[in-house]
Chains A and B, each alone.
Chain A
Amino acid sequence: MKFSRRQFLHTSAICSFGSLAPSFLQKTAFTAASKKVKTDRVLVVLQLSGGNDGLNTIVPYADDEYGRNRSTLRLQAPEVHKIDSYCGFHYEMKAMWEQFQDGHVSVIQSVGYPKSNRDHAGALRDWYTAYPHDENCETGWLGRSIEYANQVDHTDLPGVLVGNISMPLALNAERTIVPSIRRLDQMQFQQEPLSADIHKTDNALLDFVNQQTSIALEKSRKLTNITKDIHSSVEYPPFQLAKTLRTAAQLIRADIGVCIIYTALGGDGFGGFDNHASQRDNHAALLRQLSESVSAFINDLKHDRLLDRVLLTTVSEFGRTLKENGRRGTGHGAAAPMLAAGAQLKPGLIGQCPSLTDLDDGALKHQIDFRNVFAALLDQWLCIDSKEILGVSFDPIPLFQS
């Protein structure tokens, strides 16, 4: 009796959900327990809310079809930062274009999915869950990844939301509470709890909370030290996104085990990128914020030799229609490029430029399914078995240097 009780204490202290989980939970637990999640690597997912116009982000300036369909929104050759003789970055994206030249930014072309949704709520759902057209899926792809890291490696706090937005479905998890961080002091004790000497009691639950308290204390102190450290700061531009990414960089620098960070540009839900009218200036301003903030983030991490550990990627629920509408804006489209930043990326353009003549109801067809991109992020970056997260096997796209 005594022996088995002790044994029970021991196992439940190690196993993060142990005997507390009703038996039905253990059945849904992930099976691939052998693989080690790469907790020293970080994935930052940056949502461009509202559906980003990919064609005016990576601009096919030399394509006649582009010019013909965009009478007021088209960018001329001198207005783009050229990648090649066909396409280039929007004129406000100089900073990112320079990072592209240095091999720290890559472009994944024509990403979308079959029968893609054209309304915000539906398309967001599809991207968030990574189970397109399954309205019964209740959790997000990153929420499930967080849970996976939690269960397979017993990682405390694998994922966080950073910034001034509400928790997206992408991070929703069945069990794990994913924190939303607006300011770093939310992750620091206002008054440190008594640091319990970790002596074992006869209550496994109390032991568990004791242990978690010392973990939390350590993390809180690490963050306090980071925020005290002022001379490491690289200049960030005066945008909200830059502030958010600076917070993300501090979380990474503090080394508190966070490996998934989510944030957004363009506001909550369907936001700033949804330009049905007078798109030009609004879109340009957002792209400038994106470009300069991400570039500062890259420089900051590079400065601290942390860029090797970080991968940032943008997501957006859809691109825009090729043809502009009569109000100098664009409609909801389909495929669009994803922008990725990091030090281990395959440089340049990944995948093919979208066809501007073979359209699907006015929108670009996808050539890469977003779940093939997610598979690369999960399998090859975070070392999380993508099949467990996406339900079926998707071949990872060649995103990294071999």
Chain B
Amino acid sequence: MKNQNAAFDPQWAWESYVPSDERPWTLKWVGHLYRRAAFGASWEQLRQAMEEGPARTVERLLNPSGNTDEFETSFDEYESAAANSDSTEGLRAWWLRRMIQTPDPLKEKMTLFWHNHFAIDCGKVKSGVLALQRLRLNREDALGNYAHLLQAIVHHPTTFLALNAEKNRKVLPNDNFAKKVLENYCLGPDMVSEQDIHETARAFTGWFLIRNECRFLDREHDHTNKRILGEEGDFDSQDVINIILRRPDAAQFIVRKLYRFFISEVEEPAHSFLEPLVRLFTADFNIKKVITVILKSNLFFSETAYRKRVKSPIEYALEIVRGFEANVSTTHLGNDLKALGQDLFHPPTVKGWLGGRHWINSAALIGRCNLAHALISNSAPYEKQLAFDTVFEKYKCKSDEESCQFILNLFLQDDLDETVRKQLYRSTADKKPSSWLQRFTIDVLTCPEFQIG
């Protein structure tokens, strides 16, 4: 309780966590870190992190050692091959596979963050090649420079296509496009006036999409003076983005989203509380610096953050797959995740997946549990894909008790209510022996504690 109160002191909150007797480094926090900064972990990874402590583990997640280039290059090639169609189904499958196998999971997680932040429905783009280009922009700067990323995304053909702004004529500035860019990508809603929106639209005149490429036609650009967010001049679209980036609101908007993504969906932090991060971000828009502070912080390793997010369908499924160190058909998985509300490349609106409690309704919950069931029991369409027994052998579980405890450690870090624990053991006691460990595992993966993270 003392720590929880202290969490509201921003200085303490953003200082690096150093394990102590009072706040020891336990498996609970290792699992927490891997849920947020990766898509779950194998037992080996959890064990290694237990030994190495928080500082080194966070460092390794931020800067993975070893040869990641080889992995990235080969997956870049697979993706390129899959992009040769109007549909994004192939790309979706390869991206999910990448998330499962990557030696650099934080980068993929942040790629997903930007994919959601710069949300568009790629159904409108009708080009796998362009969808892939956009994905790569998000990945290249996933932990890089936000100013660079924002300029690149806003000026990418996919943005103009998806937001119905293929022709930005001098006489027809597209206010709707400007509004969506300002409110969803840059500053958040209700931060700009109608005039700012209209003047921004004028600044974007001259951009035309010709054969899926952006062309700037100077004669169609409105060169007259514009007044945007208090600044005045003959601005073009890049100037507008620079003006926006000079506003602390722009950094605040992103930091707030990062807070939701890494710390908690439950509480909206106060302005002043985020101030240290906002100041840091405003300095040079280095995304990695901010995430480093977040992942190392006292706040991150506190009850304020622990189990304060509903897992997205992707997180839910991938934690199972990565826990079992398995590979499954990501074509099928992509379809199942779509049914659960998270169809990569097709968020419902330009606001992205709003997540949180919206991930859960009775149908979605049944779907998630049935997916876990299908993966663990190797039933359709995941026949012979997840070798259930392998991990128990690999980690030398010698008895039934050890196997049960292993599952509880791997997926819940043994942190569960005692009544739930009793129920878990009771429910498997009277089941037929052949598949009881599977039943036990499914019980663990479908319990409410595993739906949140």
Contacts and interface: CB of A to CB of B under 8 A. Distances in A.
Interface of A: 1, 12, 16-25, 27, 135-136, 138-139, 156-157, 160, 172-177, 179-181, 186-191, 193-194, 196-197, 199, 201, 203-206, 208-210, 212-213, 215-216, 219-220, 256
Given A174-B351, A193-B443, A196-B448, A24 B190 contact: yes
Contact of A177 (B5, B363, B452): B363
Nearest to A135: B164
Contacts of B364: 177, 179
18 contacts: A20-B358, A22-B256, A22-B354, A138-B348, A139-B348, A176-B358, A179-B339, A181-B363, A186-B367, A187-B366, A190-B373, A191-B446, A203-B308, A204-B266, A205-B266, A205-B452, A208-B360, A256-B362
Contacts of A201: 417
Given A186-B367, A205-B452, A174 B354 contact: yes
B302 to A, nearest CB: 13
A401 B108 CA distance: 58
Contact of B266 (A19, A160, A256): A19
A196 B369 contact: no
Contacts of B268: 19, 22-23
Contacts, number: 151
B327 interface: no
Given A16-B357, A208-B360, A193 B452 contact: no
Nearest to B446: A193
B374 interface: yes
Contact of B341 (A23, A177, A209): A177
Contacts of B163: 136
Contacts of A19: 266-268
A172 B348 contact: yes
B347 to A, nearest CB: 10
A190 B340 CA distance: 16
A216 B377 CA distance: 21
Contacts of B379: 190
Given A21-B354, A174-B349, A209 B366 contact: no
Contact of A175 (B358, B370, B443): B358
A252 to B, nearest CB: 15
A172 B359 CA distance: 15
B369 A193 contact: yes
Given A186-B367, A205-B307, A220-B366, A194 B188 contact: no
B241 interface: no
A27 B358 contact: no
B267 to A, nearest CB: 7
A194 B370 CA distance: 14
B362 A157 contact: yes
B265 interface: yes
Contacts of B419: 197, 199
B362 A190 contact: no
B451 interface: yes
Contacts of B310: 205, 209
Given A19-B268, A212-B360, 11 more contacts: A174-B349, A186-B370, A188-B366, A189-B366, A190-B370, A191-B443, A193-B443, A203-B308, A206-B449, A212-B365, A215-B362
Contact of B357 (A18, A215, A220): A18
